[in-house]
Structure 1
Amino acid sequence: MPQYPEPYWRVGLDIPSFPKLDRDIEADVAIVGAGISGITTAYLLAQEGLKVVLLEASTILNGTTGHTTAKITAQHDLIYDELIHHFGEEKARLYYQANSDALQFIKDMVNEHQIECDFTEEDAYIYANTGEGVKQIQVEYEAYKKLGIVSEYVQSMPLPLEMQAAIVMKQQAQFHPLKFLLQLVQAFVGKSGIIYENTTAVNIEKGERPSVITRDGYRVTCKHIVSCSHFPFYEMPNLYFTRMYAERSYVLGVKTEKAFPGGMYLSADSPKRSLRYTNVNGENLVLIGGESHKTGQGICTIKHYEALEAFGEESFGITEIPYRWSAQDLITLDKVPYIGRLSADESNIFVATGYRKWGMTNGTAAALLLRDLIVGRDNPYQELYSPSRFHADPNIKAFITINVDVAKHLIGDKIGIVRRSPGDLYSDEGAIVNVNGKRACGYRDESGHLHIVDSACTHMGCELAWNSGDRTWDCPCHGSRFSVDGDVIEGPAEKPLKRIELE
């Protein structure tokens, strides 16, 4: 299997490093998670004159934000007819407006501060090439008209792809997310903001001045705590693992024979295909995304990259594939993010999660809302995004579906005889193996060294599955991911897997 560099966004970028927290400290606000929502919230609150501490379990800009396709748009797939059905026209319109506000905020920041981040305005298309897809497009277009969303229904588009109909939103945008956020990081530090990397938050001690407790036992005591980590590091009382599920999707960065005409594209039909470009040293790199599936489930993950490559070859002709990566996204019961106060009883603890693949606008909207809640300003989107909301339709059905699936994997995956032993593994192969009569995760690296760890996820004990595309162990229940040596890559798991030494 060929080795690939980091996602394009991080390659060649001079990202600063920050120390690990090694003592107890105090602040006005502690923010956990240094992705787009965490960094933007930290920047906004520092601009308000608050003392803000930003904690990151790994290194900044290395999680979902560093694995995005970086579309800045309010066109979030076929969502607005569904939102009208479940929430009503008023809240569906608020969702559109919140994401349009986020786009405008990013645009204003780029212009006012002259941020060089490859920002370009682009038209965004959802297109269909089947009869069923066209029907969905037509229904969605009617929803656009009800909500007053400026758009067009078209039967052609610049891309050389087969299509019958599309909806286009004009003047959406794309950018280099890390170049943009690095400017916010610098401005935040310039306002005496403090960042700690490799500092894992594991708990909250409640009170009038609550504290974030780290894995090493240190605490950050403050007036307000904000969880902007990809999966909330503090789940009580909302039990987010029962109210969200994780999906993985895949991206190829390719050079093509056919010129890319500009614009951003998403297919209404399955399998989903996402397309945009970015400029690299004067030539376009086309980003081909898609192949979503629930984390830890489905076919061999390398097959998803192969499917995207086949699509790209057929559509554009691929001359080179310099970059390849995958991303993980959390999806809530009703597909709207959870942003706001943790609960009515916890007025000084906040959460932001569940961006459903649209983190550039949803994450920015989260930062704007969190800023207003913390400084005491009115915000029209507070009720829409409230983490405590519950709507019988669709929440009950989605809740049952998610948790029945979890139960199936929690119990069913532990049944069955494992016949392979660690010695059976080929170079660069991972599989569930039998070690002393017990299941274990085994991987043999290209130098021949074996990496053996426990096969039960440390979150709730689900059996892990091998991800051959990313060389990780993934949990099919709640989306936790671990390295071949058992280190936590994605939550909700907080503890690493136990390493097993072979006799």
Structure 2
Amino acid sequence: MPNNGEERLSSYWIDSTKLPSFQALENDINVDIAIVGGGITGITTAYLLIKEGFHVAVIEASTILNGTTGHTTAKITAQHSLIYDEFIQHFGEDNARLYYEANKEAAEQIAEIINLHGIDCDFKKEDAYVYTNSNDKVQSLKKEYDAYKRLGIDCEYLDNISLDGNIKGAVVMKNQAQFHPLHYLSHLVNYIKESGAEIYEQSVATHLDIGDKPIIHLRNGAKVTANHVISASHFPFHDNRGYFARLHPERSYVVAAKPEKTFPGGMYINAEKPKRSIRSVTIDGEDLLLFSGDGHKTGQGEPEKKHYEALEKFAKEEFGAKEILYRWSAQDLVTEDRIPFIGCNNEGDKRVLVATGFRKWGMTTSMVAAQLMRDILIGKKNRYEELYSPSRFKADPGIKTIVKENVNVAANLISGKLDSPDKELKDIKEGEGAVVSIKGGRAGAYKTKDGELFVVDTTCTHMGCEINWNSADQTWDCPCHGSRFSVEGEVIEGPAERPLKRIDPNSIDYTTS
């Protein structure tokens, strides 16, 4: 916990967890199953597959559990905002019920693992609420409540709840849970390691050859040959199905604050926009709250720091919070029909499996994915396979969403090329990043507090969109498909595989730039 009220620009989950480190893969290896991605999905899937006797390797581009998993709000719930009435309308009652039951069973499985291994991870049962302050959303909540009852969900509708504010109504899903995700997952990592699985960090998978046995090629030249490959790398590292056009990226924000007002317990999310999600957390023996939301498409909209400021204002106005202790952000992917893609990358072909598009609800969805992919690989019938199949295509609402998203991509591609930078390189201050003009061209510049200057080409290496500066996280973000790059130009988030082109600032004539 920060000393003297100092705010940390980092995830509490990561700060409070000591994780083992692993070496990069330098030599060629052969395994039964190679999992690309060391987040909650990859680690959980490895855990389940080891129990089936498979020789498993986890390949992580950065460090394990440091991506979206380490920046979650960590609600273990089947209440994924207002979705069940929508799913009944679009996919029918049977499929909506399957979605609920898949996530309900996943939550129960997480609880079973915690009990089996005696994991101390602040696991706590809580009711989950979707509430509204708007009269316009009351009818939507009542429709959601009716959907809950049709699907057999343990629920309640309330005209008011114990939160302060002008609450107009809420629908409650009973007996959900919250936990410390990395304390839970660090135990699974140790189990995996002790069970003989291989884990490699700083090992970037760049492409895949699919023969009788798939071969993963790493950036450093090493190769992984496996009977089966699982892509659990947030955005699929092997995109031969056009996932970049079937997924859109969104960023959301979290602040941890010390409230002055009494918190009634429970987990909350509002029905309207901007989103406001609330849950409790204990940090160094003190009861705090996590406020999250204010999501937007990656690389688009107002400066990212404005989203933190909006959450901080909400925490202060609604809960009297006077001290912000942590803040962090996360990125997630959304499919065209809001149901994740989980299963065989090509229908019926077990050589390559994929899990992506969790729509910010990765705690239960990761377990859904791990169990489903395990069952596919061991030949066990799983009643959720068709619902989550990456090969599916639902014309309603899928086609409308795809058209809308690709119009958005095209607009950002064009506008980025026409955008005129408003700064010159010589104007960049220490600790500042910005798009700048260099001899009439567009470039990205960042100057450290020590005065070191990093300059990059702002053309995204995925499909040529122009990246924008993220002042809150100090990254370069692509508004088209969500690729993110460090100040040095290294890839942080896909679908981009290659770093940005670096420009040597010493080669630039400042007098003419």
CA distance in 1 between partners of 2:186 and 2:151 (Å) = 35
Tell me the TM-score normalized by structure 2: 0.96
Return the match for 2:11 from 7, 11, 17.
7
Which residue matches 2:295? 292
2:443 alignment partner, SS class? strand
Shift of residue 3, structure 1, vs aligned partner: 6.8
Which residue matches 1:392? 395
CA distance in 2 between partners of 1:362 and 1:174 (Å) = 14
Tell me the TM-score normalized by structure 1: 0.98
CA distance in 2 between partners of 1:128 and 1:172 (Å) = 20
Return the match for 2:453 from 435, 450, 453.
450
The one-letter code matched in structure 2 to 1:306 is: E
Q: Does the Cα contact within 8 Å between 2:71 and 2:330 map onto a contact in 1?
A: yes
Return the match for 1:246 from 245, 249, 254.
249
Change (3 A) 1:484 1:85: same
Which residue matches 1:108? 112
The one-letter code matched in structure 1 to 2:283 is: V
* Superposed counterparts of 1:223-372, under 5 Å: 223-236=227-240, 238-344=241-347, 346-372=349-375
1:233 alignment partner, SS class? coil
Shift of residue 188, structure 1, vs aligned partner: 1.0
Q: Does the Cα contact within 8 Å between 2:376 and 2:382 map onto a contact in 1?
A: yes
Shift of residue 427, structure 1, vs aligned partner: 2.7
Which residue matches 1:122? 126
The one-letter code matched in structure 2 to 1:82 is: E
Shift of residue 419, structure 1, vs aligned partner: 4.5
The one-letter code matched in structure 2 to 1:273 is: R
CA distance in 2 between partners of 1:5 and 1:433 (Å) = 26
Q: Deviations over 1:271-306 (max 9, x none)?
A: 110000111122112100010100000001111111
Shift of residue 407, structure 1, vs aligned partner: 0.9
CA distance in 1 between partners of 2:36 and 2:139 (Å) = 43
1:76 aligns with 2:111: no
1:414 alignment partner, SS class? helix
Q: Which sections of structure 1, spanning at least 5 residues, go unmatched?
A: none
Q: Does the Cα contact within 8 Å between 2:247 and 2:357 map onto a contact in 1?
A: yes
2:258 alignment partner, SS class? strand
CA RMSD of aligned residues (A): 1.2
Which residue matches 1:149? 153
CA distance in 1 between partners of 2:322 and 2:433 (Å) = 30
Shift of residue 446, structure 1, vs aligned partner: 2.0
1:98 aligns with 2:99: no
Which residue matches 1:88? 92
Q: Deviations over 1:303-322 (max 9, x none)?
A: 11111111100111113111
* Superposed counterparts of 1:166-181, under 5 Å: 166-181=170-185
CA distance in 1 between partners of 2:180 and 2:165 (Å) = 26
Shift of residue 363, structure 1, vs aligned partner: 1.0
Q: Deviations over 1:144-175 (max 9, x none)?
A: 11111110001222322320110011110000
Q: Does the Cα contact within 8 Å between 1:422 and 1:450 map onto a contact in 2?
A: no
Which residue matches 2:48? 44
* Superposed counterparts of 1:406-421, under 5 Å: 406-421=409-424
The one-letter code matched in structure 1 to 2:165 is: L
1:57 alignment partner, SS class? coil
Which residue matches 1:423? 426
Q: Deviations over 1:321-355 (max 9, x none)?
A: 11000010100000000000001263311000000
Q: Does the Cα contact within 8 Å between 2:7 and 2:326 map onto a contact in 1?
A: no
Q: Does the Cα contact within 8 Å between 2:350 and 2:376 map onto a contact in 1?
A: no
CA distance in 2 between partners of 1:309 and 1:375 (Å) = 48
Q: Does the Cα contact within 8 Å between 1:5 and 1:11 map onto a contact in 2?
A: no
Q: Does the Cα contact within 8 Å between 1:333 and 1:394 map onto a contact in 2?
A: yes
Change (3 A) 1:5 1:130: closer
Which residue matches 2:208? 204
CA distance in 2 between partners of 1:279 and 1:162 (Å) = 27
Shift of residue 129, structure 1, vs aligned partner: 1.6
The one-letter code matched in structure 1 to 2:447 is: R
Which residue matches 1:460? 463
1:137 aligns with 2:157: no
Which residue matches 2:501? 498
CA distance in 1 between partners of 2:165 and 2:192 (Å) = 44
Shift of residue 448, structure 1, vs aligned partner: 2.6
Q: Does the Cα contact within 8 Å between 2:7 and 2:325 map onto a contact in 1?
A: no
Moved more, 221-230 or 157-166: 157-166
1:223 alignment partner, SS class? strand
Shift of residue 417, structure 1, vs aligned partner: 3.4
Return the match for 2:67 from 63, 70, 73.
63
CA distance in 2 between partners of 1:161 and 1:114 (Å) = 39
Which residue matches 2:3? none
Q: Does the Cα contact within 8 Å between 1:260 and 1:284 map onto a contact in 2?
A: no
Change (3 A) 1:79 1:308: same
1:33 aligns with 2:37: yes
1:356 alignment partner, SS class? coil
CA distance in 2 between partners of 1:290 and 1:381 (Å) = 29
1:476 aligns with 2:490: no
Q: Deviations over 1:220-247 (max 9, x none)?
A: 11111000001000000x1100000000
Q: Deviations over 1:360-386 (max 9, x none)?
A: 011111001011111111101000000
Q: Does the Cα contact within 8 Å between 2:425 and 2:445 map onto a contact in 1?
A: yes
CA distance in 2 between partners of 1:125 and 1:151 (Å) = 10
Shift of residue 445, structure 1, vs aligned partner: 2.1
Q: Deviations over 1:6-60 (max 9, x none)?
A: 2000113211000100011001000000111100000100011110000000000
1:383 aligns with 2:383: no
Q: Deviations over 1:405-427 (max 9, x none)?
A: 11111122111433521111223
The one-letter code matched in structure 2 to 1:258 is: K
Structure 1 runs, 4 residues or longer, greater than 4 Å off: none
Identity %: 54
Q: Does the Cα contact within 8 Å between 1:99 and 1:365 map onto a contact in 2?
A: yes
Q: Which sections of structure 2, spanning at least 5 residues, go unmatched?
A: 1-5, 509-513
Shift of residue 125, structure 1, vs aligned partner: 0.3
The one-letter code matched in structure 2 to 1:328 is: Q
Number of aligned positions between the proteins: 501
CA distance in 1 between partners of 2:208 and 2:85 (Å) = 39
Change (3 A) 1:65 1:416: closer
Return the match for 2:187 from 173, 178, 183.
183
Shift of residue 5, structure 1, vs aligned partner: 4.1
The one-letter code matched in structure 1 to 2:487 is: V
